[in-house]
Amino acid sequence: MATRIADSADIDDDASIGDGSSVWHLAQVRSGARLGAGCIIGRGAYIGPGVHLGDHCKVQNYALVYEPAQLGDGVFIGPAVVLTNDTFPRAVNTDGSLKDAADWDAVGVTIGTGASIGARAVCVAPVTIGAWATVAAGAVVTRDVPDHALVVGVPARQIGWVGEAGKPLVQAPDGRFTCPVDGTTYEQHGDTIRKVEA
């Protein structure tokens, strides 16, 4: 599939857009950003300087992915999601002068393979969202999320586990968890779960 970039998209010259990716109307991809193959960047989305997206990521309309965010393969970023980069934001220094790049250190959000961030969720950096985790729409994530965790609310709290198919896992009487979509079985180990290998 050919790479498609809308005429109204703003792509910096040294940004890297992977083969087969699409960047839609009014989206902005800043200097040094790297998009993997087959990514989709929705209308009005923002990809900050040096942000890295793996292959087959989807960043929906008007999402804001601020540097130095790092997204694994197959990550879904819902509409109007915000990945922040400043724990203690201020427009000015204590002397009243306008802050510039030298006056603060950006911190990022790291998102593992296959994870999904629901519409209008906010991930407050620095946090790590584990592989295949799901952050519910409107949640505010202020601490790390384990692999396969399902988190909801403000602040986000874990209410269950999800499989790679994205559906909540069902706990069996033996304590294991099963995916209702593909039948994959998982076992809990401390604060994480792992697939049971056949």
Please give the Cα distance from 130 to 42 (Å, whole number): 23
Report the CATH number that the domain containing residue 98 is assigned in CATH: 2.160.10.10
Q: 140 with 111, same domain?
A: yes
Q: 95 with 179, same domain?
A: no
Asked which of 29-38, 56-65, 169-178 is least confident by mean pLDDT, the reply is: 169-178
Q: 157 with 168, same domain?
A: no
Residue 103's pLDDT band (cuts 50, 70, 90): confident
Average pLDDT of the chain? 96
Domain count, the chain: 2
Q: Is 177 helix (H, G, I), strand (E, B) or coil?
A: strand
**Residue 195: which domain range?**
164-198
Query: Is it true that the peptide bond before 168 is cis, omega within 30 degrees of 0?
Result: no
Q: 29 with 42, same domain?
A: yes
Q: Is 66 helix (H, G, I), strand (E, B) or coil?
A: coil
Q: 27 with 48, same domain?
A: yes
- Give the mean pLDDT of 109-127: 98
- For the entire predicted model, the pTM comes to 0.95
Q: 46 with 87, same domain?
A: yes
The per-residue pLDDT for range 62-90, each reduced to its tens digit, is: 999 999 999 999 999 999 999 999 988 99
Question: Does residue 198 surpass a pLDDT of 80?
Answer: no
